[in-house]
A and B are shown apart, each in its own frame.
Chain A
Amino acid sequence: MDELASSLGVNVNEGKPRRKLPWTLMDVLSGNKLWLCASCFRCMDRCPRDVDFTEISIALRNLAARKGIMPEVYKEQALTIIETGYAFRISEARLKLRSKYGLPELPKSDVEQVNKLLDVVGLKNMIKTEGGK
């Protein structure tokens, strides 16, 4: 339990890090265990040989995503960012609550600029070709 969400190696092998190494690249990329890395950096901080595991985990997930393998929740969040500039759709009720509590109005994000950037790095294309809206 301790390391469930914090160690890629443990996650991929159901708690037994030494069980069946090495996996093939496609095993790693297509399984959902890869996405259970919480990017908490704990493995990286604890590695006695200074291996940047979290960075490797990010690279592997980027590779999987480029092959079209990614959990639905990531696609949804990417779409929200493309459409609003924010990672969540903030409801009217929340915005009203802000003024009730005397908080300043939430600035509108520059969706046009955000889209241009996400386009040049290829994100928009990734989401579109992978069955996004």
Chain B
Amino acid sequence: MKYLLFLGCVIPYRVLSYEISARKILAEFGVELIDMPNFNCCGFPLEAINYEATLVLAARNLCIAEEEGLSILALCNGCSETLYLVNKKLKESKELREKVNDFLSNIGMEFKGKIEVKHLARVLYEDIGVERIKKKVVNPLSELVVAQHGGCHLFRPVKHIQFDDPDNPVKFKSLIEATGAKCVSYPDESQCCGGPISGIESKLALQLVADKLKRIKGVGAQALITVCPYCHLMYDSMQKMAEREAGEEFGIPVLHYPQLLGLAMGMDPKELAIDMLKVKATKILEIISK
């Protein structure tokens, strides 16, 4: 199995721990990753001010993948959703394709619609499968209780993405439970992390973060599991600020799914860059080493 890895910007900017752990576990399942050469921003950040800019930025990345003859694996929800939707729209609409190809002709590229775009969680669930994952688990995390935050763009818009139910993502939860951990439900699981509005009204974004962490704590989860660098930034890096905002301590470590799986596969926490997390995972490391 071979994919073109689309790293995006948030991961190299601030969330290396996700990339480190994702590469580690994918290698164990024989997924070969080729890093996409001279890629650019996926286009998502410009969607609100100039949608055509999103179309051309995404399309350029898609053209590079076509030239490489490989489908894209993206780690970030924003990137995977944007590339997936633009790929789908350009494949389905001749009119839009012609318009975008007209723009692309300025740099000598043409969208042909030859590849697919997949989020990491989808590759894990659809290509590798829960059963194969279970077979690699040597250290079941059966004492651990976690909650999931797959994040909006892993699932939405449902009619286009068609992967899992955002309010009760049974596929994503089965990936989590494959590690032996218990994945508990909590009220309003599909509430947004607030990332896209953190630069506009940071207070409101922090309220959203606090809101979710409060509910997760309320159902007794010891950690939160994410598969998006932006969601992770909000819940991990911003947790201290959210605590200040809410006047309450949460102390919930936020693990990237590949870190959780890596631990269950017996990998060393250091190898999975667990020490790079802002909210220290000391307590859960103790629980699972018992």
A40 and B156 contact, CB distance less than 8 A: yes
A131 on interface, CB distance cutoff 8 Å: no
B191 proximity list for chain A (CB < 8 A): 2, 6
A36 and B201 contact, CB distance less than 8 A: yes
Q: Which residue of A lies closest to B211 (CB)?
A: A1
A5 and B192 contact, CB distance less than 8 A: yes
Taking residues whose C-beta sits less than 8 angstroms from the other chain, chain B's interface range is 35 or more
What's the nearest-Cβ distance from chain A to residue B287, in Å?
A: 26
A104 on interface, CB distance cutoff 8 Å: yes
What's the nearest-Cβ distance from chain A to residue B205, in Å?
A: 7
Q: Identify which of B9-17, B119-127, B254-262 touches chain A.
A: B9-17
B12 and A94 contact, CB distance less than 8 A: yes
B14 proximity list for chain A (CB < 8 A): 88, 94
B103 and A114 contact, CB distance less than 8 A: no
Task: Tell me which of A50, A94, A103 contacts B13 (CB under 8 A).
Answer: A94
B53 on interface, CB distance cutoff 8 Å: yes
A86 and B20 contact, CB distance less than 8 A: no
A29 proximity list for chain B (CB < 8 A): none
SS class of chain B's interface: helix, strand, loop or mixed?
helix
Q: Identify which of B39-47, B133-141, B217-225 touches chain A.
A: B39-47
B180 proximity list for chain A (CB < 8 A): none
Chain B 134-172 interface residues, beta-carbon cutoff 8 Å to A: 152-153, 156-159, 166
A58 on interface, CB distance cutoff 8 Å: yes
Task: Tell me which of B9, B50, B157 contacts A122 (CB under 8 A).
Answer: B50
**How many A residues touch B, CB cutoff 8 Å?**
59
- Tell me, in angstroms, the Cα distance from A104 to B47 when the chains sit together: 29
A98 on interface, CB distance cutoff 8 Å: yes
Task: Tell me which of A41, A42, A107 contacts B38 (CB under 8 A).
Answer: A107
A70 on interface, CB distance cutoff 8 Å: yes
What's the nearest-Cβ distance from chain B to residue A81, in Å?
A: 5
A101 and B57 contact, CB distance less than 8 A: no
B39 proximity list for chain A (CB < 8 A): 107, 109
B41 and A81 contact, CB distance less than 8 A: yes
B67 on interface, CB distance cutoff 8 Å: no
B residues within 8 Å of A by Cβ? 7, 9-10, 12-14, 16, 19-20, 23, 35-41, 44-53, 55-57, 60, 103-104, 106-107, 152-153, 156-159, 166, 188, 190-192, 194-197, 199-201, 204-205, 207-208, 211, 273
- CB-defined A-B contacts under 8 Å, sample of 12: A2-B188, A36-B201, A40-B156, A41-B152, A41-B157, A65-B50, A87-B41, A98-B16, A113-B40, A113-B60, A120-B103, A121-B56
- Beyond contacts A78-B49, A113-B40, A121-B56: 5 other A-B pairs, Cβ-Cβ < 8 A, are A1-B207, A77-B46, A87-B10, A107-B36, A117-B107
